[in-house]
Amino acid sequence: MRIYKECCHCSKELRGRTDKKFCDPQCKSAYQYQIEKYNPERFYNKVDNQLKLNRKLLKEYNKGGKVTIRSNVLLELGFNPNFITHYWKNQNGQVYFFIYEYGFLTKKENGKDKYVLILWQDYMAKNSKFTN
């Protein structure tokens, strides 16, 4: 007794196994794509996309290795400082947040919020903490 009589994607008549749902791998792939297209974005994808955007922006604006920039410049482009991969605390107690190898320190200068952008250095490995 056949469970499915026609392909779940293209509605062609199925031949072969009784539990077959799709006529070929292309129909199966197209069907799965349509299902995922209408599902809400998964949490993992949101986090991954935000980390990628944060890294891209830090890389783009840190051409000199250490740069100070107004925070609103990055925030307007979609930067979210709550998405980080790890942090590093220097001897002065300042905490630098990192997205992979690009880091930033939040500071206030002349009443304006700014970020100090830096690159990861090997000596930082001793005091870094990874987020869970």
pLDDT in tens, 45-75: 889 999 999 999 999 999 888 999 999 999 9
Q: How confident is the model at residue 22 (pLDDT cuts 50, 70, 90)?
A: very high
pLDDT attached to residue 127: 64
pLDDT in tens, 74-108: 999 999 999 999 999 999 999 999 999 999 999 99
| Domain locations in the chain as residue ranges | 1-39, 44-130
Q: What is the pTM of this model?
A: 0.66
Q: CA angle, corner 45, sides to 43 and 48, nearest 5? A: 110
Residue, of 27 and 128, whose pLDDT is higher: 27
The four Cα atoms 71, 113, 131, 122 give a dihedral, to 10 degrees, of 80
Centre a 10 Å sphere on the Cβ of residue 23 and count the other Cβ atoms it contains: 19
